[in-house]
Every structure is written in structure tokens, then in C-alpha cells.
Structure 1
Amino acid sequence: MNKKLIGAGLLVLVAVVAMLVWKFTKPVLDEAEVVETSDAKDVEGKITIALDNWVGYFPFRSKEFKKRMRQAGWEVKVIDDAADYHARMKQLNDGEIDFAVVTVDSYILNAAKHNYPGVVVTVIDESNGGDAVVALEKAGKSLDDFRGKSVRVAFTPDSPSHYLLKALKSHFNLNELLPSGLTGMRIETKGSEEALQKLLSGQADVAVLWEPDVSRALEQPGVVKIFSTKETERYVVDILVVSRDFLKKNPKEVKLFLSNYFRALKWYRDNEEEWFKELEAETKSDRKRVRDMVDGVDWPSMSQNCTKWFGISAPGEDSNEVLVEVIESTVNVLIDNDDFKASPLPDEDPYKIIYSGVLQDLYAGYSGVKTPTTVAEAMLTQGMKFEPLAAENWAKLQPVGTLKIQPIVFQSGTFQLSTEGKEELDKLMQKLKHFPQYRIKVVGHTSNEGDPTANKQLSQERAESVVQYLNVTHNVDFNRCLAHGLGGEQPLIREAGQSYRDWQYGLPRVEIVLVREDL
């Protein structure tokens, strides 16, 4: 009898275990079947990024960025943590997210306890009015109006808003705008939206906000702006931080992520209508408010990141390391506000939380500086295809420099290349092989004597002849080149002691200017 009971009990136990296994396994099998029988099977993996509703982070939330990553085989999961910077840094440390977008001050402050688990790989934006201190007009209209008063201030702790108050306290000796928690004047909120609600409900006299809440606040009667980042430089700078572990294990994916970010950003700049439509839908705002929000943010391009922020440049270019300066300045403000007694950075070295390698790789490919190693490679770079550009987009390209060449000679009074002119263009190709990714502006000039209209037409035709020769003889893509005739509008500067005749002789010329897209 006991054996039968034991046997029955075992059967029941086995059945229960089987049911539990099936309960937890079936969804996995179903998901696997869904993936296998759909385009999702082509996804290599998922990349997770944490951020909040700040308008500067829009490119990461955008359709274009996600589409580009999806086409490259990666799904992007965006986590909006409502500006919970403590949680964001903990997730980065614990490996729950791969990237975090955060301000310089918030990263220094909130990542210190985790020994800085990520490195800065690019600057995302600089606030240019997108962060502001606003107030009820009856409470005050300027910073000085609050001196010596008890002020109820609403802000998000350990956020860019908090840092803005610290900077004002440090730079203007204005302790009233950062009251202690003991006074009842300090109103800590979970995000900018809640801070705005506290202001509009009359629970706060002052609120520190970021877009889109700055624009929303200023649309309300009786609300005034008393300070904003529009009048500052390098106060609030947003950065992209990648987990050190993810970077070490997935360097190619980090490069892909950054490349697609910059390409998506450029796409929206070139397609402003789509950009504004998406922001209108996301923020539930009209066009004017969206325009104000966008105007309050500066998004540096890839080349600006390199040359201004990270100190990366191509040969002959100037560059700066503004990011290091911002980090050091931010550390000083935090120390002045008693957040730290000394620099919390590893070995007090800002370079230990920065990694410029990804940008260097991207910039090397983007700048086009390359030496072909084989005849086949040289031929391949000559035949590279370029997307066509509209005139307004050609105007947006950044000049790299004018190549040094001997005069390109034409048959007298015509746009027909002489034998000497063709030989010089053949020599020019040896230089162009080193810059396969730059576009080319061929600029024609004439003397400033004679009929201006005829001169301009001749200079245009000569520039077009050069483009035609490069295409037919050397397989240079037409879309890569732009012929532009200026006639006698931009004569060379006459040197001291140079005869008039010699000066005039040098005015008819063709210049080869390398230009690049500002990704």
C-alpha cells in the first residue's frame, strides 16, 4: 500500500514538474519559432541605451537611427529612466545597459561610487538655452531678486538642473537658489516635468527645467526666465558613455553604433521637416515649440567632436581638447559645493574616463586620408561612387584645403584643355588617390578684365572641362565633383612689388578644393 502511494506520489510529482517545465519552456520555444519564421532571425543582437526625455537625446530615440541599426543587424532598446541618474549608473556598472547618455556633471557625480564603469566616447550635445531657471514673475525677475530671501526651488537632484544651481551658487555666490533640505524650501522632483508642475501649482517659486519643459513653462502667463544656458558656454554638456566591458568585448559594435548615430543626425539635419514631425509627435508640441526646443541645443557633428572636443585632427588641421577642460571645470564646481573633497576621478586624471579611439577610427575613414598600397586599390578608390548632392547640400560641405598644382593650361580663349593641361591633371590624380572619400570642387577663375558675364561663362566651362576629363580619363565619379565658375570675382591678392602684367597673368586659373561632409 505504501509503495503504491509512493508510486502515485512520484507520478504526480513528475507530472507537476513536466507541467512547470512546459509552462516556462513553451514561451521560449514560441519566441524561437516567431524569430525563425520572420525577419527577426537576421538580428545579431540587442544594444541597450538608457536616457530620459531631454530633447538632445532625440537622435537615439529616432526612427532613422533605429532603422540604420536594424539594417546593420542590431536592435536598439531605449530605456527612459525619467532622469534617475543613480539607477542609470548602477545599471551601467552591473552590465544591464551597454550605453548611457548623461551630462558631464551627472556622470562625475553619480558614477564615482562605481569607480566610473564606462568611458566617454563622444559629446552628444551642448545646451544652448535648453536648460533654464524659471520663476513666477511675482517672486522675482533676476538672480539678484532672490538674494536674502527664502525661495522655494524645485529641481531634479543629481541632474543637470542640480548642477546648474551649483554652478550659479559657485559663480554668483547665490546660496538662496540651492537651499538645504532642512529649510523646507528645497523641493526635489523626479524629472523636469514634475518640477514644472510644482511651479505652476504654486508650490514652488523657482523651477529648474530642461526642454521641452522650458518652452512649456514660458508659454504660461506669469512665468519668466531668469537664467538659461543660452547665455553660457560649456555649462551643460551631454556625453555618450559606453560600458568598459561592452567596449572591450564589442569594439566593432561600438563603432557601428557611433557611426549610425552621426549619420542619423546628419540625415535629420538634411531632412528638417521629418525631424520636426517626429519631435512634434513625441513631445505633443506645435511647430513653434519644437523650433524653440531645437534652437536650445547644439549637436556637434563627428568632425566637430574630433577637432573641438577630443583633440583629433587630420594632418595640417588644428584641434582642441575642450572635453578635458569641461571635466576639470565641473570637478572644481562639485568640490566647491562639497560634493567631493578632492577630484573623484581615477588618479585625478580626466583622460581615464575618456576613450577617443572610436572617433579616431571613424575620423580616419571619414577624412579620407589614405595611401593606396596596390595598383588595384588605387584603381578602386578612383572609381568610388558618391551619392548625388543638391546645390544647398554642396554649400554645407566643409572645406579641407586647396591642392597644390601647377597651372592647368587651356587653349587660348577656349575651354579646351591643352596637352600640358591634361598632363597636369594626370599628375593631380596621384594626389587625389590619397583622399578617396573627399568630394572635389573644381573652381574656375578668369582675369577681372573684359565682360564679366563672358568671363563667368568661360570659367564655368573650363571647370566643367576639368570634371569631364577626370571622369572620362580617370573614372572619377561625376557625383563626387562640382564645377563652379567665378569669372573674375575672386582675383588673387597682388603681392608687393608685383607688376600689373604679371599679376593679371596669374588670374586665369583652376583650383582643386577638397571638401567633406560634416557628419
Structure 2
Amino acid sequence: MKKVFVAACILLLLGMIGWKVSEPWREAKKEENQLLNTSDAKGIEHRITICGDEWLGYLIFRSPRFRSEMEKRAIAVNFKNEPDFQARFEMLDSGDCDLVCATIDSFLLNGESTNYPGVIVFGIDESYGGDAVIATEGIATLDDLRAENIKGAFVGFSPSEFLLKSQVAHFEIENLKTNLPSFRTDDAQTAYNRLKNGDADFAVLWEPFVSKSLREIPGATRLIDTRQARSVIYDVSIASRSLVSEKPAVVQAITDVYFDTLNYYSSDPEEFRKLAKKDSGESESNADTMLSGIRFLDLKGNRDMINGQGELRLTDAVANITRILVDVGDLSTDPLEGNPRLIVNSGFLQKSSSSMASNASTQAEPLQRFFAPLDETAWDALWEKRTGTLLEKPITFGVGQATIPEEFQQELLEATQKLVHYPGHRIIVQAHVSPGSNKEADLALSQERANAIRDCLIQKGKISEHRVHAVGRGGEEPLAKESGEGLRSWKRRCRRARIYLAEDT
């Protein structure tokens, strides 16, 4: 009996201590409840944190309209500015963030270490001219970036870096792969300054620095931008898997309110322009320029990406971007093992009750377009403003023959997969033979081989016949002999094909 009494006293004492220790917490909780119950915040049932950066493409999430409409659904929104992509996904994994705004490439690259803690629920925007490769005088095509000791500048680990990497992968600019780390800067102003001061031969910039460089740097030219290189920089909203599984109604509310807000500002572009100016801190003209380089994806555009109607499928975009990251060595293998659906949840898009009204952002050229026939003069003009070499390979044709070897046909078809990124470009095929004694015969044979490659692209690659032009160059442009190279080896290398892309404006 005595033991029971002692035990009861001990429990009572511990309870009193616990009550006293918890008093500050109880007082704080009481004050918090009083604060909530005596204000408009008393109706808030959920609080979510969205992580992104100052990119104007994320402006809808930062807008007063989005916050107020979410509060009507008893959801309070906090937009956290976090420039570092890796930090965003670590916060998503830890629960400190509920939804991340980021590019697809950054998700693939930075989400792997945390086993992809979120899923893409909808697309936000596509860079559409907002990012560009700008070069100084003397650099006319992407091929010129193969020059020894070429110097570049871009913001490290940014969408600009990925734009350059996509060009390195698509146009096989191998020398840049090892040089990329030395080109990185901390901010866009520094990258611009390097280009302007002659410390860089090219820079990858975003607006308003793209327009500023073309306007203020003598001889500066735009090698390529995201109007020409499509489906490369996509921003998407990535909801945490815990939010999707535990609070799907909140994810649905975010989706519905986002597109309702986008439609609201689309119906009043002047208000949206003013909001962009205020949010960016830029002048009105700079803010307008920045907005013009962004193609916001409305509900219809998102559903088209899911269903593959007129747009590149979202899963195909993920697969293509994965391929680029593997090609440049950022990923050793495909972390999704060929199944991009592992990081996509389209159910909230399909259920969205938002209006299907189109938004007022820049309307992009279709990814599939009609190509009218061109005469030789027009093709010659296109050649003068070519973008770069998509493929250059030696081809082992039979002696005096124009039959394409099976292994090269496969390489041709693999090259055509890149064309989805360049819907406004035409294709120029050049074939070369090893120099012989009969120039006319060499020219005729090279034309036959160029025609054979052209026919393969049309028939097996499903390329429009008016999009491809074949040119035989004979043996007039032999390659330089390498040190110690034998005649037979040199002639074999001279028998080659080059496939160029040239934008048809």
C-alpha cells in the first residue's frame, strides 16, 4: 500500500512539473488560437509553401490574385524565394516545402539524390525567346563554337546553362563539354559584362540581357534562342508526394486556382504588365521584353501536352531532356529507366474545373509545320544563315555506289529525333567523295549519295520532302591529312556526309 502511495505521489509530482514546463507552450498556443479566432485567418485550414525564384514565369504564384483566391478556399500560401535548385528539392523532401517551381532538367538532375520526392502536376511555361546564345563578331554559327580556346559565359546551373548543353548534345560540340565549368558565373550581369568586355566569345543570357547585348555590343549576333530551339526549357509545378497522397484536395485547389488566375490576368494584359513591372523591379520596357520571351501554358496547352495533341507529350519532353543530360555526362544513365511517368501525375489536370480559355501570352509556332517547296536561290540563301551541323560522319559506301550502309541509316534516324526541338528549321544534306581524277564524275556520285541520304530521311525518318535539300560537293573539299595518316585512311575519311540545320524565317 505504501509503495502504491509513493508511486502515486511521484506521478503527481511529474505531472505538476510537466504542467509547469509546458506552460510557455500552452500560453503561446493560447495566443496563437486567440490571434486566429479574432481575425480573418480563423477560416484557414491549410498552409502551403511554394518554393521558386524571381523568374517572371512564376509570377502567377506570387500574384495577389492567386493568394486571395486560395484563401477563399481556406488555404494560405507562402512563396519562398530559393535560387538554388538543389535546396528546393531537399526542402520538398524534408517537408519544408509543399510545391516546387523548377525546370524539368533541374528536377531530373537534382531530384535523383532524394529519389524524386515530388511529381509534376502541370506545366507552367516554356522559355520562348527568353534565353539565347549571343556571340561576338566573327562567330556566325554554332559550328564556330568548336574553335580551340573558345571562351564562354553563363550563369552556372541555370536554364541558360541547360540551353547551351542542349546545343552541345544536338550539334555534337564535343570540345565544350570539358570547358563548361570554367564558363560559369554567379549572375547574368557578370556573364553580360564578360561578353561586352571581350572576356568571352559568346554568352548564354536571358532577357533583358539578350536584347541589351544585341543593342549595345557592336557586332553581337544571336546564334540561337528558345524560339528556335523548342521544348528545351520547360518550367513545371512539382507537388510533394506526401501532399498528393495525404491532401489531394489541396493539390486540386492549387491547380484550379492557378489556371483561373492565369485566365484572369490574360483577360487583362495591362494589369499583368503592371504586375510584372512591379514584381521584377525593371523598367516597363524591360518587363515587357521579359514577358515576351515566356510562353505561359494554360489548361488547354497542358492537356494537349498530356494527350499529345499539337504539343510534344510531357512524358516525351521528359525523355528528350533526360537524353540531353546523359549525352553531356550530367547523368550516367536514365534514372527513370525509360519510364518518365514515374514523375508525372496528370490526374489533377484532367479533373480541373478551371476555364479552358486561352491565355494572352506569346503564341508559339506549332511543333509541326508545313514546308513549302523552295528554289535553288532560296536554298542558297538559307545556307548562308545556317544554324549548325547536326551530324557529320564518314560513310563507307561501296566503290562507285550510293547505297547507304545499314549502320549509317540508324545514325540518320537517331539524328532525326533531335528535329522535334527545331520545328522551324530545314535540313541541308551535303555529301563528299574522296578526290579523284574526274571532277564531273565525283560531283555526280556525291549528288547521288546526297540524294540517297535525303530519300532515307524522307522515307524512314518521316521528314517532309520539301524540308530537305540534297547537295553533292564532289571531291572539292577534302579534309586535311592527319600526321602519319596513310592515303587509304585519308580517302576513307573524305567520303562523308554532313547534315546542317538552317532556320526558315
1:281–1:148 distance in 2 versus 1, CA, 3 Å:
same
Aligned to 1:102: 102
SS of residue in 1 equivalent to 2:216: coil
Matches within 5 A, 1:257-276: 257-276=254-273
Matches within 5 A, 1:447-486: none
Aligned to 1:116: 116
1:225–1:30 distance in 2 versus 1, CA, 3 Å:
farther
SS of residue in 1 equivalent to 2:330: coil
Aligned to 2:71: 70
Matches within 5 A, 1:184-263: 186-196=182-192, 198-200=194-196, 203-222=199-218, 223-263=220-260
Matches within 5 A, 1:341-380: 341-345=332-336, 347-362=337-352
Aligned to 1:54: 55
Aligned equivalents of 2:226, 2:145: Cα separation in 1: 19
Compute the displacement of 1:226 (Å): 2.6
Asked if residue 327 in structure 1 is aligned to residue 318 in structure 2, the reply is yes
Aligned equivalents of 1:61, 1:282: Cα separation in 2: 9
Bigger radius of gyration, 1 or 2? 1
Q: Cα deviations across residues 455-481 of structure 1 (Å, max 9, x unaligned)?
A: xxxxxxxxxxxxxxxxxxxxxxxxxxx
Aligned equivalents of 1:158, 1:355: Cα separation in 2: 26
Compute the displacement of 1:49 (Å): 1.0
The one-letter code of the counterpart of 1:164 is L
Aligned equivalents of 2:149, 2:266: Cα separation in 1: 45
SS of residue in 2 equivalent to 1:173: coil
SS of residue in 2 equivalent to 1:240: strand
Compute the displacement of 1:32 (Å): 4.1
Compute the displacement of 1:290 (Å): 2.4
1:42–1:201 distance in 2 versus 1, CA, 3 Å:
farther
**Contact 1:54–1:210 (CA under 8 A) maintained in structure 2:** no
The one-letter code of the counterpart of 1:111 is G
Aligned to 2:149: 150
SS of residue in 2 equivalent to 1:116: coil
Unaligned runs of 5+ in 2: 1-17, 364-505
Aligned equivalents of 1:29, 1:193: Cα separation in 2: 49
SS of residue in 1 equivalent to 2:204: strand
Q: Cα deviations across residues 55-102 of structure 1 (Å, max 9, x unaligned)?
A: 2111111122112112222221111112x1111111111111111111
Aligned to 2:327: 336
Compute the displacement of 1:117 (Å): 1.1
The one-letter code of the counterpart of 1:338 is G
The one-letter code of the counterpart of 1:76 is V
1:251–1:271 distance in 2 versus 1, CA, 3 Å:
same
Aligned to 1:433: none
1:309–1:24 distance in 2 versus 1, CA, 3 Å:
same
SS of residue in 1 equivalent to 2:116: coil
Compute the displacement of 1:284 (Å): 2.5
Q: Cα deviations across residues 221-277 of structure 1 (Å, max 9, x unaligned)?
A: 345433210112212111111111111011111011011110111111100111000
**Contact 1:110–1:158 (CA under 8 A) maintained in structure 2:** no
1:245–1:124 distance in 2 versus 1, CA, 3 Å:
same
SS of residue in 2 equivalent to 1:120: strand
Q: Cα deviations across residues 367-389 of structure 1 (Å, max 9, x unaligned)?
A: 8xxxxxxxxxxxxxxxxxxxxx9
Report sequence identity in percent. Answer: 31
Aligned equivalents of 2:21, 2:184: Cα separation in 1: 46
Aligned to 2:488: none
**303, 306, 309: which is aligned to 2:305?**
309
The one-letter code of the counterpart of 1:230 is R
**Contact 2:93–2:114 (CA under 8 A) maintained in structure 1:** yes
Superposition RMSD in Å: 3.2
Q: Cα deviations across residues 322-347 of structure 1 (Å, max 9, x unaligned)?
A: 111111111111111122332111x4
Unaligned runs of 5+ in 1: 1-16, 313-317, 368-388, 397-519
Aligned to 1:92: 92
Which of 349-358 and 29-38 deviates more?
Answer: 29-38
The aligned length equals 342
**Contact 2:160–2:204 (CA under 8 A) maintained in structure 1:** yes
Matches within 5 A, 1:30-41: 30-41=31-42
1:286–1:45 distance in 2 versus 1, CA, 3 Å:
same
